Chain A
Amino acid sequence: MSNVKCNHCHIEFDQDVMIKENDLNFCCNGCQGIYHLLKDDGLDSFYDKMGNNSIAPPIIIDDDISKFDRDSFEKRYVKRNEDGYKKIDLIIEGIHCAACVWLNEKVLYDTDGIIEASINFTNNKAVVVWDQSKLSLSQIITRIRHIGYNAYPYDKTENEKKATQNKKDYFIKMMVAVFASLNIMMIGVAKYTGFFTGIDDAILNWIHIAEFCLATPVLFYSGSVFFKGAYFGLKNKIVNMDLLVASGASLAYIYSIYVMFGGVGHSYFDSVAMIITFILVGKYLEVIGKKSAVDTLDTLKSQLPTEAIIIRDNEKISIALDEINLGDIIELKAGEKAAVDGQIISGAASFDESSISGESLPVYKKTDDMVYGGTINTDSVVRYKVTKDFEHSTLNNIVTLIEDSLLSKPEIENRANELSKSFSISILTISLLTFLAWYFYMGEFEDALINAISVIIIACPCALALATPMASLIGISWLANKKLLFKEAKHLETMAKATTVIFDKTGTLTYGNLKVIDEVAGTPLSDEQLSIIYSLADSSAHPISIAVKNYLREFNDKLDLTKLDNFEIVPGKGVKATYNCKKIVAGNIALLKDNNIDVNFKYDNSIFAVAIDGILIIIYELEDSIKEEAIETIEYLKDNSLDVIMLTGDNDNVAKKIAQQLNIEHFVAHMTPIDKANYLKKLKDKQEIIVMVGDGLNDAPALAIADISITMGSGADISIGLSDVVILDNSLKGLMDSFIISKRTYKFIKQNLGISLVYNIVTIPLAVFGYVIPLVAALSMSLSSLLVVGNSTRIKMKMK
């Protein structure tokens, strides 16, 4: 069987399952519809822009679109711009490439009444301004859904505004610093060449003036963050790296001005600019990381329902979530997400609880069963009584927990920062003592100043500051080659120091897809019976039906789809249909018993049993399978003295079975997302350094608390956004590689720090006693940086 690409989404599927249309192939009706829509509207250049990228198949949503035009909704999300038009902030779901941004903007701009539609590709956030007299918000959302995407409104928080402004400020500061440094480097070539070939004093003076003009904005504008950091550090009685950078750069700057106005010595404007630029680039990357965390939170919040339908005096009223009271009766239709927790009082339905438990199988719920906020009703209408208000409901608790963790996530300080505290104090003290000693004993102010500055320049934190980033950079690039994405360099160090590794089960240790592991049939099935079962399985999107369908396709070359009559889905139990007047029942044991069919079969796993005219003809047993390399990975972690723990929302039996197969001694079942987060908190209180590996939204709170959070590339967007490390190829071997490379990189970071410390121990005394002029100090400082860079390149050589 060969695979072909869908002409719309470009995802490859088996040829047999494609919808064929002349030379075109589509994976689903949604893709087919949108393909023709774009062609008809002259938007087919979308496919040229898309190139070889693939996008997710269109999102088909069938909810009540009129809610977007209700007053409560408008009050919360819609604002007015300065021209009096309506304005809303949206998060567009389904954007994968620049072509998706182009298509959405194009469609929106071409809609009469839309004044502005700007989509940010980096965070998928959009601002739409429209003329309310020409169209409504629901029509705008419909336009977006029409082309296969979805849009959620979100409340632009103060956090986001601050993070956006902060990122912009840092970007401009970095731009000024990089620009000035590059220019100073160019001018510096002439100056340093002049030391060997001779240079006219007039030219040298002008070079100093040019360097002064370039270094001044770098020190006082770009470098203002270090002055602020040093000031707040001193205010809180903390001596930090910022103080050393600010004082070193300022003294070198003052000394250079002295030289510029005819003093003896050499100017160091270039050193001033370079130090600030190097360290500022690192800070900018941190700011980007924080902004991305805020964007992830907004995406999470935008997925909260915006309102609920409650029954009051036999009338259905739509109210905002914070107006829901305990005891209110909520009506939840098929496809809707429960806003708050409650207890079912009428109806029965299957609920997708993957956001809470991580398990992909829908859970059947009937009267008196609990419904949790954030779970999705997949089939029938139910009414439930509110037992927890929105503030205390499960979904809001998850969001709050993640928000708190992100805003106060304690980072393990890297070694350079730990060292810098004592290092900064020592250097500043030595420099001051050098100045005082030379001034009072030798009586020479100029010598005293030059030697004091030499001490600071020679001890300039370049090598120290480069020790960690250089080694990390090489380690991270090596990891990226192995499809392991480390979002920040400091995670390498934390990973190397980890003491405990916690795994989620479904999707992390197991594939998260059910597979048929056994079948029990009384007699071999006829082709007709197989076709009936195949057609039944094909009619439902339930994970069990999909697994049975795949199993039948794998072992039967010829399977025909048979037309079934009176097809009916029995929520949470299975399906019923008739074929040539024969009554067919297929599903779990409960469904068969409901239909008076006797089943005597012992089982531990999910079951799909089929009966025709009251006679059981076959039982399929299904199980989630363990990932390849899972056993090897667990063994490696245990051999390296790491505690391995498995947390799962699944029941005890399943958890025990998987733990035994993987040789994991510590596991806990029945864990909700909040239980998982609390479990991690307790471990952290015991000073454990935790690596959490998960994939679903249900793992998000725990991922936010862990010291290092690792997500599979196929995981939920929220989890990927929150995680520190993403394993792009979903392979557990990637986890093993992450540990190996992190440990090796950390070893080299320690070596680099050693080199920079030895360098300082040797050179600082020379500077104190006046044996090092500032020029030699600057050159030796560069040499120490080169040593660190050179040593870091050995990481990769050793790996090879």
Chain B
Amino acid sequence: MNDILILELVFGLILSFIILGFMIWGAKSGQFDDGEKQNGGLLFDSPDDLNDAIRREKKQKDSRKSNS
């Protein structure tokens, strides 16, 4: 019984640190810089907006490639 509890504790701790790592990565890459915009996106973004976001990333990548 104790072993299970200890395993759960250790596993939970490792998992939570991994999640924290992702959040720090997100914060460092600027994903939390504009909280208000994020709220708006969460509430109002439609599938079209998500497709737009993919298109924009592709456009940026293509521009970089063509310029390099």
The residues of A with any CB-CB pair to B shorter than 8 Å are 45, 48-49, 83-85, 97-99, 101-102, 106, 109, 115-116, 119-122, 131, 164, 168, 171-172, 175-176, 179, 183, 187, 200, 202-203, 206-207, 210, 213-214
Give me the interface of B with A, judged by CB distance under 8 Å: 2, 5-6, 9-10, 13, 16-17, 20, 23-24, 27-28, 30, 32-37, 39-41, 43-44, 46, 48-49, 52, 55-56, 59-60, 63-64, 67-68
Nearest CB on B from A113, distance (A)? 9
Contact A109 B52 (CB under 8 A): yes
B35 near A122 with CB under 8 A, answer yes
Contacting residues, chain B, for A48 (C-beta < 8 A): 44
Residues B67 and A83 in contact, CB atoms below 8 Å apart: yes
What CA separation (Å) do A505 and B30 show in the bound complex? 43
User: In the docked arrangement, what's the CA distance between A45 and B52, Å?
Assistant: 13
State A203–B2 Cα separation when bound (angstroms).
7
Question: Do A122 and B34 touch across chains, with their CB atoms under 8 A apart?
Answer: yes
- For B27, the chain A residues whose CB sits under 8 A away are 168, 171-172, 175
Q: Which residue of B lies closest to A106 (CB)?
A: B52
Q: Is the Cβ of A98 less than 8 Å from the Cβ of B16?
A: no
Partner of A176, one of B20, B41, B63: B20
Listed by A's residue number, 27 A-B pairs whose Cβ atoms lie within 8 Å are A45-B48, A48-B44, A83-B67, A84-B67, A85-B63, A98-B41, A98-B43, A99-B44, A101-B40, A102-B40, A109-B59, A115-B59, A115-B63, A116-B60, A119-B37, A131-B63, A168-B28, A171-B27, A171-B32, A172-B27, A175-B20, A176-B24, A179-B23, A203-B2, A206-B9, A206-B10, A207-B9
Contact check, A120 vs B37: say whether CB atoms are below 8 A apart.
Answer: yes
Please give the distance in Å from A366's CB to the nearest CB on chain B. 48
User: Given the complex of chains A and B, what is the CA–CA distance between A638 and B50 in angstroms?
Assistant: 59
* A116→B62 CA distance, assembly (Å): 12
Chain A residues whose CB sits within 8 angstroms of the CB of B9 once the complex forms: 187, 206-207, 210
B residues less than 8 Å from A83 (CB atoms): 63-64, 67-68
Give the Cβ gap from A666 to chain B, nearest Cβ, in Å. 42
| Residues in chain A near residue B17, CB distance under 8 A | 213
Minimal beta-carbon separation of A562 from chain B (angstroms): 47
Kindly state the separation between the CA atoms of A711 and B59 in the bound complex, as whole angstroms: 44
Chain B nearest Cβ from A680, distance in angstroms = 33
Given contacts A83-B63, A109-B56, contact A98 B2 (CB under 8 A): no
Complex CA gap A590/B67 in Å reads 65
- Complex CA gap A22/B53 in Å reads 36
In the assembly, what is the distance between CA of A106 and CA of B34, in Å?
17
> Which chain A positions have C-beta within 8 A of B48?
45
Which residues of the other chain, B, contact A84 by a CB distance below 8 angstroms? 67
Chain A residue, CB-CB nearest to B55: A109
A160 to chain B, nearest CB (A): 13
Q: Which 5 A-B pairs have the closest CB atoms?
A: A98-B40, A121-B37, A121-B36, A115-B63, A120-B34
A131 to B59 Cα, complex, angstroms: 12
A309 to chain B, nearest CB (A): 36
Inter-chain contacts of A171 with B (CB < 8 A): 27, 32
Residues of A within 8 A of B20 (CB): 175-176, 179
Q: Chain B interface secondary structure, helix, strand, loop or mixed? A: helix
Q: Which chain A positions have C-beta within 8 A of B13? A: 183, 210, 213-214
| With A98-B39, A109-B59 already in contact, 17 other A-B pairs whose C-beta atoms are closer than 8 Å | A49-B40, A84-B67, A97-B40, A98-B41, A109-B56, A116-B60, A120-B34, A121-B34, A122-B35, A168-B33, A171-B32, A175-B27, A179-B16, A203-B2, A203-B5, A206-B6, A206-B9
Residues of A within 8 A of B43 (CB): 98
Q: Could you tell me if B33 and A120 are in contact, using CB atoms closer than 8 angstroms?
A: yes
Does the CB pair A172–B44 fall under 8 Å? no
A183 to B27 Cα, complex, angstroms: 20
Residues of A within 8 A of B35 (CB): 122
Residues of A within 8 A of B67 (CB): 83-85
In angstroms, Cα B3 to Cα A203, docked, is: 9
Distance between B27 CB and nearest chain A CB, rounded to angstroms:
5
Given A85-B67, A98-B44 in contact, is the A122-B37 Cβ separation under 8 Å?
A: yes
B18 to chain A, nearest CB (A): 12
A176 to B24, CA, bound (A): 8
Chain B residues, Cβ within 8 Å of A49: 40, 44
Q: Is the CB of B6 within 8 A of A202?
A: yes
Q: A175-B27, A179-B20 are in contact. Are A122 and B2 (CB under 8 A)?
A: no
Considering the chains assembled together, what is the distance between the CA atoms of A78 and B2 in angstroms?
64
- Residues of chain B lying within 8 A (CB to CB) of residue A207: 9
Residue in chain B with minimal CB distance to A182: B16
Q: How far is the CA of A119 from the CA of B56 in the complex (A)?
A: 14
A589 to B37, CA, bound (A): 53
* Residues in B neighbouring A85, C-beta threshold 8 A: 63, 67
Q: A43 to nearest B CB, angstroms?
A: 11
B37 touches A98 (CB 8 A): yes
- Kindly provide the distance from the CB of A180 to the nearest chain B CB, expressed in whole angstroms: 8
Q: A128 to chain B: closest CB distance in Å?
A: 13
Q: Would you give the shortest CB distance from A102 to chain B, in whole angstroms?
A: 7
Residues of chain A within 8 A of B28, CB atoms compared = 168, 172
Q: Name B23's closest neighbour in chain A (CB-CB).
A: A175
Q: Which residues of the other chain, B, contact A101 by a CB distance below 8 angstroms?
A: 37, 40
Return chain A residues, CB-CB under 8 Å to B34: 120-122
Complex CA gap A26/B48 in Å reads: 28
Q: B3: shortest Cβ distance to chain A, in Å?
A: 9
Interfacial chain A residues near B30, Cβ < 8 Å: 168
Q: How many Å lie between the Cα of A102 and that of B43 in the bound state?
A: 13
Nearest B residue to A131 by beta-carbon distance?
B63
**Residues on B with beta carbons closer than 8 Å to the beta carbon of A214:** 13
